[in-house]
Amino acid sequence: MKSLQTLGRKAWIKAAATVMAASLTLGAGSALAAGGALHAHEPKEGFSSSGVLGTYDQAQLQRGYKVYREVCAACHSMKLISFRNLGEKDGPFYDPKYKNPNENPVVKQIASEFEVPTIDSETGDVITRKATTSDAFPSPFANPEAAAASNGGAVPPDLSVITKARHGGASYVYSLLTGYKAPPAGLKIAEGQHYNPYFPGDLSSAWSGDHKHVPAGGVLAMAPPLSAGQVTFDDGRESTLSNQAADVAAFLEWAGEPKAVLRKKTGVAVLAYLLLFFGLTYASYRMVWRGKH
């Protein structure tokens, strides 16, 4: 053991430093190795909700809702969202005049445009009635089997929490919607499938080119859903592909995390309180321990 000790402190420090340097290199290595898909990015103007103090842009949420309603809702359900949610604080149609979203005329109007199934209490038959603000968004298909049958075998995922269920969140949704492009030569795409460099997947089996340079991304059953001019915005915003994608991504971000603004505001207050409390406690600590150290 003497030899170990005479080896000395320096040698040990060196050994430890080498291990640490090695582990850092490993970190960098795997970050490069990962990435079957391109890294998701925000729209150029960013998302108003990102950052510590970011809030939702209500006009954008309204436009996003329109994109969802006119395009996405044809195939994708949003079972966890009710009409009343649209009129809640920080929501797309919140109006300070109507603290109770069920009284919000815009929300009531939107709900009344839908029919939902119910049971006739007299006869027991399945009938439909006008939706109310407390109803969840009706789903486009009766069940997953029907959804698969209409979509080439793939069930369109529910969009209620899609931004939380995908790496990259709203940026991923934006990148995917704007990222469709023609597959590079040498990539075989099956019928009913579409290439997207942002969709996570492994294309090596469909790739006939250089095996060291398999294209990023994957294939999905959803055809490019948005195109310029597809949705007319009521506030005059130009209906480009990027604008539609950014707006619907913002709307889905809100839908997934409707309490995010309240959460961040509460967080600022909590941290401020803890900071104050820390100062007080630390001062007490210094006072109590004076002369004891």
Partner 1 sequence: MSDHPSTYVPKTGFEKWLDSRLPIVRLAYDSFVDYPTPKNLNYWWTFGGILSVCLAIQIITGIILAMHYTPHVDYAFNSVERIMRDVNYGWLIRYVHANGASMFFFAVYIHMLRGLYYGSYKAPREVLWILGCIIFFLMIATAFMGYVLPWGQMSFHGAVVITNLIGSIPLIGGPILTWLQGGFAVDQATLNRFFSLHYLLPFVIAGVVILHIWALHVAGQNNPAGVEIKSKEDTVAFTPYATVKDGVAIIVFLFLFSVFVFFMPNALGHADNYIPANPLVTPAHIVPEWYLLPFYAILRAIPDKFGGVIAMFGSIAVIFALPWLDTSKVKSMRYRPVMRWFFVIFVIVCLGLGWCGAQLPDAQVIPGLPSFTLFDGQLNSYLWLTRLFTIYYFVFFLLIMPWIGLKEEPLPVPASISEAVLAEHNKKKG
Question: Which residues would be at the binding site for partner 1 (CB under 8 A)?
Answer: 1-2, 4-5, 9, 12, 15-16, 19-20, 23, 25-27, 29-30, 32-33, 52, 79-80, 85, 157-158, 160-161, 164-167, 200, 256, 258-259, 262-264, 266-268, 270-271, 274-275, 277-278, 281-282, 284-285, 288-289, 292-293
In the complex with partner 1, the residue whose CB is nearer, 151 or 242, is 151
Nearest approach in angstroms of CB 268 to partner 1 is 8
For residues 211 and 198, what is the distance between their CA atoms, to the nearest angstrom? 20
In the complex with partner 1, the residue whose CB is nearer, 202 or 238, is 202
Nearest approach in angstroms of CB 256 to partner 1 is 8
In the complex with partner 1, the residue whose CB is nearer, 43 or 258, is 258
In the complex with partner 1, the residue whose CB is nearer, 214 or 241, is 214
Nearest approach in angstroms of CB 216 to partner 1 is 15
Nearest approach in angstroms of CB 227 to partner 1 is 28
Expressed in percent and rounded to 5, the helix, strand and coil fractions of the chain are 45, 5, 50
Where b means 16+ CB within 10 Å and e means fewer, 166-176 reads bebbbbbbbbb
Nearest approach in angstroms of CB 229 to partner 1 is 33
Number of other residues whose CB lies within 10 A of the CB of residue 56: 23
Alpha helix segments (H runs only) across the chain: 2-33, 58-70, 105-112, 144-150, 169-179, 241-256, 260-289
In the complex with partner 1, the residue whose CB is nearer, 237 or 264, is 264
Residue with tokens 């210094």: 286
DSSP 103: G
Nearest approach in angstroms of CB 234 to partner 1 is 27
In the complex with partner 1, the residue whose CB is nearer, 31 or 182, is 31
Both tokens of 121, joined, read 């209490």
Residue with tokens 């949704």: 173
Nearest approach in angstroms of CB 248 to partner 1 is 18
Cα-based distances in Å from 11 to 16, 21, 98, 199, 222: 9, 15, 71, 48, 59
Q: Tell which residue, 68, 5, 37, has the closest CA to residue 215.
A: 37
* Cβ contact 198:171 at 8 Å: no
Nearest approach in angstroms of CB 215 to partner 1 is 18
194 backbone dihedrals φ, ψ, rounded to 5°: -135, 140
